[in-house]
Chain A
Amino acid sequence: MSPESNGWLLKLRGGWRAALGLRELVHVLPYSPRLYPIPQTPSHVRHAILWEGRILPLLDLTAFLEASSDRDLQPATDRLSLDHMVAIVAYHAASTPEVSLGGMLLGKVPERIQVADEQACALPGSPAAWHQVAIACFEHPDHGAVPILDLPRLFSGALAAHAWPTYDSDSRPRPERGARTPGLIEGAGWQIDALGQGAALPVGDT
């Protein structure tokens, strides 16, 4: 039996499930942060938040999945309640060697999980948008196929290209979809010293 990897099961609004590597989830805010609307942005990143003095984009994966499933870009984040839950996530953007931070809207508190390579499975067929935002997938005993998110791509301009057809598409090489093992869930080989402690991280401009 192959060794297990640690990660987080994200419970998104709308009942969607996704997973992150252990070190990719930095903090879950114990309060509902103020949302700052940013004009002319895609429906899945309509707001920014302030966290420890930094301006972070707030990504609503549910909005992206639902918009792409019916091709109707609804302002899903406009429907946010006052008690929205936000997680701070960390990733390595292609444009900078430093760790970048972003916010992600959640529906419920994330759950620690362990995943073995034997659980690898294909990405869900629907919505097709999973193929744009996931690097792998595993079979969860309770929730079925759970995609593992590609955070650098989520926070790149690649999804904006999806929202705006006139956008130049992201030319960054894409990993093979649905064929990689959940061993990737541990993250991309970088370390955060203060993981889980909510401490300041050495980040550059978002």
Chain B
Amino acid sequence: MKTPTSGSPAWRSRHPHYVALTLGEATLAVPQAEVHTLESMLDLEPDADGLRVGWIRLHGRRWPVFCASPSLEPMASLPDGRRICVMLSAASGLFGFACDAVSSVDAAHLDLVTLPACMARPGHPVSALARSGDEVLCVTCAEDLLDFALRARPETDESEVRRTAPSRELQ
């Protein structure tokens, strides 16, 4: 599911708030509605396996935590500064994404453009770029981030993530 990127009022009403996720020099923006909780990386159960750096226990289950460089390349270990784990809610369940910093952004203050054609490709996790003051955010969504993370590491057993669907535990 791609995030609408026209910058239209309809798009803003659908996602009135975004959360900016800082990954080194790059900043992602995901709809706030897709952010489940923020956890401390101190609670991580290390289990490095390619992109996945470990697990976070939540609601009686454990959920995979991913870590990526500013260019969204998989990182086998946590760089300095990745102290926050943002737990994102995808259709198949929760997953964590290690970040340097997390902040809230009002969509009304975002000036969006679709990802320029020269930068885009099928399956690109960034659907749009957004200006917030003097910052440029890369707009994505939990579903696209998860899909990208799983494709970035083909050997990941996707069923393992799918099996951890939170619907039973959260009901």
By a beta-carbon cutoff of 8 Å, the part of chain A in contact with chain B is 34, 36-42, 45-46, 48, 50, 53-57, 59, 93, 95, 102, 154-157, 159-160, 164, 166-168, 205-206
- What total of chain B residues lie within 8 Å of the partner, measured CB to CB? 30
B113 adjacent to A205 (CB under 8 Å): yes
Q: How far is B120's CA from A157's CA once the two chains are assembled, in angstroms?
A: 7
Q: How far is B26's CA from A37's CA once the two chains are assembled, in angstroms?
A: 6
A157 adjacent to B136 (CB under 8 Å): no
Who on chain A is nearest to B25 by CB? Answer: A37
Which secondary structure characterizes the binding site on chain A? loop
The answer to whether residues A159 and B118 also contact, given A39-B26, A40-B71, A40-B72 and a CB cut-off of 8 A, is yes
Q: How far is B121's CA from A164's CA once the two chains are assembled, in angstroms?
A: 8
The answer to whether residues A55 and B120 also contact, given A39-B26, A48-B129 and a CB cut-off of 8 A, is no
A156 adjacent to B70 (CB under 8 Å): no
CB distance from B110 to the nearest CB of A (A): 11
Which secondary structure characterizes the binding site on chain B? loop
A205 adjacent to B114 (CB under 8 Å): yes
- Across the interface, A45 reaches (CB within 8 A) one of B116, B124, B126, namely B116
Task: Show 18 A/B contacts (Cβ-Cβ < 8 Å), sorted by A.
Answer: A36-B25, A38-B126, A38-B129, A39-B71, A39-B72, A39-B125, A40-B72, A40-B121, A42-B118, A50-B134, A53-B131, A55-B111, A57-B118, A102-B118, A157-B118, A157-B121, A166-B122, A206-B116
A206 adjacent to B124 (CB under 8 Å): no
Give the residues in chain B near A159, CB-CB below 8 Å: 118
The 0/1 profile, CB within 8 Å of A marked 1, for residues 96-118 of chain B is 00000000000000010111111
- Across the interface, A57 reaches (CB within 8 A) one of B72, B116, B138, namely B116
The answer to whether residues A57 and B71 also contact, given A205-B7, A205-B114 and a CB cut-off of 8 A, is no
Query: Other than the known A38-B119, A57-B119, what 15 A-B pairs have Cβ atoms closer than 8 Å?
Result: A36-B25, A38-B126, A39-B70, A41-B119, A45-B116, A50-B131, A55-B136, A155-B116, A155-B118, A156-B118, A159-B118, A160-B118, A160-B119, A164-B121, A166-B122
Give the residues in chain B near A157, CB-CB below 8 Å: 117-118, 120-121
B134 adjacent to A160 (CB under 8 Å): no
Give the residues in chain A near B28, CB-CB below 8 Å: 39
CB distance from B28 to the nearest CB of A (A): 8
Give the residues in chain A near B115, CB-CB below 8 Å: 38
Give the residues in chain B near A41, CB-CB below 8 Å: 119
A38 adjacent to B118 (CB under 8 Å): no
CB distance from A52 to the nearest CB of B (A): 11
Give the residues in chain B near A167, CB-CB below 8 Å: 121-122
- Across the interface, B118 reaches (CB within 8 A) one of A36, A40, A154, namely A154
Give the residues in chain A near B135, CB-CB below 8 Å: 36
CB distance from A195 to the nearest CB of B (A): 22
Q: How far is B26's CA from A95's CA once the two chains are assembled, in angstroms?
A: 28
The answer to whether residues A39 and B113 also contact, given A48-B136, A50-B131, A57-B119 and a CB cut-off of 8 A, is no
Give the residues in chain A near B122, CB-CB below 8 Å: 166-168
CB distance from B57 to the nearest CB of A (A): 29
B124 adjacent to A40 (CB under 8 Å): yes
